[in-house]
Every structure is written in structure tokens, then in C-alpha cells.
Structure 1
Amino acid sequence: MTHATPPGWYPDPGQIPGAPPSERWWDGTMWTDAVRAPGGSPAFPPQPPQSPRRRARTAVVIGVAVAVLAGIVGGVYALTAGDDDGDDDSAKPPASSGPSKPGEDDGEGPKKPDGSVSPGPSDGAPEAEEGFASDTASGISMPVPDGWEGKSGPAGAGVTTGRYPCPGDDTKVCVRGGAFSAPATAFKIRKTSPEAAAKADIEKNAEESYGGKIYGGKLVSHKQLASKSVTVAGQKGYLVRWKAVNRKGPDGYVQSLAFKSPADGTTMVIVRFGIDDTDDAPSVSVMDEITKGIKESRGGGGGDGQQV
């Protein structure tokens, strides 16, 4: 006799490698729109299943929200879920008692085990000040440079520009420039000083932004361009910047910036940057522009339940 997977929080089937991890509520029969940081309180309360008509209306919005807020990884903006070989075991409920392979987020939103689209979060993002993208968990707002797109979220914020088909997988979409903020614990960084946190994150940032199959595999090499103290939103911070050389497609500049949240002074914040090394990409100086413009969000915030 086969037993159904019990209701509970499981790794989000729409999770994209390199983005801050999230969990989604499985109600025993389908994925709901309730998501949260691992072990944290839900960003959205569990909701009853929506009707097919309602589900169809929200599918496009859901796909965009999941992709933009979870998919920005340095210079990479991915619209498909799962790992590069399309089989991310971490995105499944327990295999022994439930569906063998829950659906992935293919731009239409999370799917039920039978392949039909389930509802996802279509709202709940914080209200951002004009010209800024707000990261509620970190208690900060990032400036949106002219011509860029900003997205706010309860567990991170992102700014991107210049979409194009990824060089190693044209089913995914990359960007010429991007920055994404989240509490350091979302990137599995638990260092207690900004310098240690930035130095611990830069290699992960480089590999997840310009490595992997969409760029031909692991990085060929890197060159450190900067490693220095900075002030961010009135807080002492630290940044490390690399030039990353990959195997396929444009090389890139990556930067990991770390500082304590100005909202509570205990949460470590990481901002990952990525900019392509091409003539049509933004100037690397935009990293400094965004860094200088980061400020405490008007709504305060800060803290993810896992302060450092």
C-alpha cells in the first residue's frame, strides 16, 4: 500500500541553484503558494487550492515572481528550475512515501505531481520606495540604476539589466548585469565578520554566476581585482571582486559584498554582483554605484531568525 506524503514544509521544487534556498508547503496532495526560508516563518500563509480559472490567471505572474526573486545569481538570471541536468533531488518530498518527482518551475509556476500548475505566491512583496528594490529580511533597499529592473521580496531583492539567451542553454535567460541581496545564511555563509563573509562567498558567487553547464562547466580561472573595506548604509562592510574566466560565452566580473544590516546590526547581509565582460554590458563601476546607494529600508526589517 502506498502512503501519501504527509503535509509539511519541503525544499521548494522551483528552487534554482545558487539562489537563497526556500521551502514550500505540501498540503498532502499538491504544492501550495506558501513559501518560507528554511526553518523560518512562512512568507505567505498556507492557502486552500485555487480553482483552475484562478490558477490560469496567476500562472504567468507566479512564474515571473519565482524566477526574478529566486533566480538572480550574480550575473545570471535563470528562468528554469532544478540543477543543470534537470534532476534536482533536493527539490523533492521524501521519495519513499510520496510522489517520485514533483514538477519543476518552468516559468508557469510550481507544479503538482501530475504535472498541472499549482498556485504560487503572486503577491506579498514589500512596497519599495521608487527607484529602489527592498529586501525585507535584510532591512535594506538597493538602488535601481537607470535602465535596470528592480524586484523586491520578503527574503531578498534583485536588480538586473540586459536579458539574453544563456550561451550553454538557450532555454534559460541570462543578464548582462545583476545584483542580488539576502541574509548571509541564505547563501549558507555564517561568518561573523564582513571580511570573512565576503571572502567565504566570492568563490561560490563566481561558480554559481559564471560556471555550470550554461557557461561550459567549472570556471577556467579567476583574478582578484579588489579586496577592501567599505562603508555600506552606515555599516562597516567588506567586498571582494574577481574577474572570472569561463569556458563558454562571456567572461564576467563578480563581487561579493558583506555588511551587517542597518536595521538590527546583527544580521549579516550578502550582496552578490555579476557583470558580463562585453561591450554591451554595464560598466563595472555600476557595482560601486549600487554599493554606495544601499540604505536602510523605510520599513525597517532585518533578521531571518538565524542572525550571526
Structure 2
Amino acid sequence: MAVLAGIGVGVYVLADDGGSGGGSAGPAQQDRRDSGGRNDPFGDSGGGGGGESPAPDSPGSPERSEPPTIDSGSVADPVSGISLPIPDGWSGQQLSVGASVTSDDSYKCPGDASNTCTKGGAYSAPALVLGTKGDTAEEVAKADIEANAEESYGEKAYGGITSHEELASKAVTVAGQKGYLVRWKAVTEKGADGYVESLAFPSPADPERIVVVRFGVDTDQQQTVIDEITKGIEVSEAGGGNGQDV
């Protein structure tokens, strides 16, 4: 896997794995209009986000334009063969190896006021890209939740997580696939506490590959938005990022 850089998020390339290539999923809660802040899964600083300026994808390559923002409907993740619904007051973007939906309600990150955080978000990416280990959806979800929590509410943006409570750990059907979710309530050192969830299931586009959807939502929001997005994930072959399923 070669580490590259992108517009506002880090970009990875999947080594020859079934012919799929591309970049990282976007952050679940970092305001992706900023090149830093919380929940950038592939920032140079590791979990909790990255504040590095974007760099070219590779020597001599053209500049990567930021994908369009979608304000309603759904946003497709053609790599994993799914679409994520866009809740009211949120927006979505299709990314190189995934898709994201993010709350439009933003504020200065309490742990680093130079960056912007949002009230909630979710993004999809193959477990391989995230580096999450496991052979089953349950194994992947359980292995991913701690990294997800740190990414969403970690030290850089929120001063660190002081404790957590497991709210759910159960099997669930997503886009016709047998998956598994783990949800925590994370208590932070500074600012908002958060609900975080790691949802894992076989990709409809490639059942041998497990896709992860990472959620992070401030606790002053309703957990129901996580359930709404989970229930609204559908099989999709759309590749244009226009908010329409195929």
C-alpha cells in the first residue's frame, strides 16, 4: 500500500487486490472543508486527524480535484458497491475508496481551535485500507472500534478519551449482507462526548472483502441518525457521485 496525499484527506492506493485502486475514505467527523482536524483516518499524525497540507498524488501527476458535495439523496461508494443515505442537514461526497456523509453543523475543535469539527459523520472504506484485521464482520467490527473512537474523539481534537461505555455489540443485516456493529459512548477530556460505531459487512461488490463504515456523532445529537444511515445503506453501482443509485 503506497501512502499518497489528497485534498483535505490522505489517500491510499490498494495494492493489486482484485483490480481495485484509489484513495482513502474521508473523515467521519472532521470537517472535510479543512485539511486537518479530527477523524482524518489517514493523516500523517495518525489517529485523531492530520493537519498537513495536501501534496500531489505523485510526481508529474495532475492535481486531484475535490469531489462534488451532494446535499440530498445518497452518495455512492462504487468500490464497495454500496450507497450511504444523506440525512437532513448533512452532505455527502464520493471518495476514491469510499464515500462520506457529514453534518453541516460545525464548530472549532475544543482541543485545537485551529481546526474545525462537525456534529457528526460517517464514511465507508474497505477494512484493508483501514488496516483493520479480521476474517469475519464481527472480528473486524470489534477490532476497529478503538481506532475509530480515537480517530473521532482523540487527543488532537478533543484532548483524548478518558473512558468509554459499550452501548451495543450485535449482528445486523446491511445491504443484504450479514454484518456486525459495535457502538461506544466515548467520554472526552475536552468538549463534546461522542457516540462512535464501527459497522462491518461483506462488500456487495466483492464478498471476499469486508467494508467498514465508521460513525462518530456528538452526544447532543440523537443516536437515531446512526440507525438511519445504517438502515439506509443500499447496494449501488453508481459511479458518478450524483446522489442517485443505479
TM over 0.5: yes
1:181 counterpart = 2:136: no
How far is the alpha carbon of 1:287 from its aligned partner? 0.8
1:268 counterpart = 2:223: no
SS in 1 for 2:204: coil
Q: Is the 8 A contact 1:15 1:82 kept in 2?
A: no
**TM-score, normalising length: structure 2:** 0.79
Task: Provide the rounded CA distance (Å) in 2 between the counterparts of 1:83 and 1:225.
Answer: 22
How far is the alpha carbon of 1:226 from its aligned partner? 0.3
Task: Provide the rounded CA distance (Å) in 1 between the counterparts of 2:87 and 2:183.
Answer: 20
What root-mean-square deviation, in Å, do the aligned CA atoms of Structure 1 and Structure 2 show?
3.4
How far is the alpha carbon of 1:192 from its aligned partner? 1.3
How far is the alpha carbon of 1:285 from its aligned partner? 0.7
Task: Provide the rounded CA distance (Å) in 2 between the counterparts of 1:143 and 1:248.
Answer: 30
Q: Is the 8 A contact 1:13 1:104 kept in 2?
A: no
Q: How do 1:198-213 residues align onto structure 2 when only pairs under 5 Å count? A: 198-213=141-156
Number of aligned residue pairs: 224
Which is strand-richer, 1 or 2? Answer: 2
Task: Provide the rounded CA distance (Å) in 1 between the counterparts of 2:26 and 2:235.
Answer: 24
Q: Say which of 11, 25, 30 aligns to 2:3.
A: 11
**TM-score, normalising length: structure 1:** 0.64
SS in 2 for 1:202: helix
Q: Say which of 135, 141, 145 aligns to 2:83.
A: 141
Q: Say which of 29, 35, 44 aligns to 1:80.
A: 35
Q: Could you tell me which residue of structure 2 aligns to residue 39 of structure 1?
A: 15
Which is helix-richer, 1 or 2? Answer: 1
Post-superposition Cα deviations, 1:51-97, rounded to whole Å, max 9, x if no partner, equal: xxxxxxxxxxxxxxxxxx75413x3335234999xx9489xxxxxxx
Post-superposition Cα deviations, 1:9-28, rounded to whole Å, max 9, x if no partner, equal: 95224587xx7x634xxxxx
How far is the alpha carbon of 1:258 from its aligned partner? 0.3
Task: Provide the rounded CA distance (Å) in 2 between the counterparts of 1:81 and 1:70.
Answer: 14
How far is the alpha carbon of 1:244 from its aligned partner? 0.1
Q: Could you tell me which residue of structure 1 aligns to residue 108 of structure 2?
A: 165
Q: Could you tell me which residue of structure 1 aligns to residue 234 of structure 2?
A: 295
**Runs of 5+ in structure 1 lacking a partner?**
1-8, 24-36, 45-68, 91-102, 113-117, 301-308
How far is the alpha carbon of 1:42 from its aligned partner? 5.6
Q: Could you tell me which residue of structure 1 aligns to residue 55 of structure 2?
A: 110
Distance 1:164 1:192, change over 3 A: same
Task: Provide the rounded CA distance (Å) in 1 between the counterparts of 2:45 and 2:152.
Answer: 21
Q: Is the 8 A contact 1:13 1:82 kept in 2?
A: no
How far is the alpha carbon of 1:184 from its aligned partner? 0.8
Q: How do 1:44-59 residues align onto structure 2 when only pairs under 5 Å count? A: none
| Highest RCO, 1 vs 2 (Cα 8 Å, sep ≥ 6) | 2
Distance 1:111 1:138, change over 3 A: closer
How far is the alpha carbon of 1:122 from its aligned partner? 1.3
Task: Provide the rounded CA distance (Å) in 2 between the counterparts of 1:238 and 1:149.
Answer: 25
SS in 2 for 1:190: coil
**Runs of 5+ in structure 2 lacking a partner?**
240-246
Task: Provide the rounded CA distance (Å) in 1 between the counterparts of 2:190 and 2:37.
Answer: 21
Distance 1:82 1:287, change over 3 A: closer
Q: Which has the larger radius of gyration?
A: 1
Q: Is the 8 A contact 1:260 1:269 kept in 2?
A: yes
Post-superposition Cα deviations, 1:188-220, rounded to whole Å, max 9, x if no partner, equal: 013111110000000110111101222113x10
Task: Provide the rounded CA distance (Å) in 2 between the counterparts of 1:240 and 1:179.
Answer: 14
Task: Provide the rounded CA distance (Å) in 1 between the counterparts of 2:224 and 2:22.
Answer: 34
Task: Provide the rounded CA distance (Å) in 2 between the counterparts of 1:152 and 1:104.
Answer: 21
How far is the alpha carbon of 1:172 from its aligned partner? 1.1
Q: Is the 8 A contact 1:15 1:81 kept in 2?
A: no
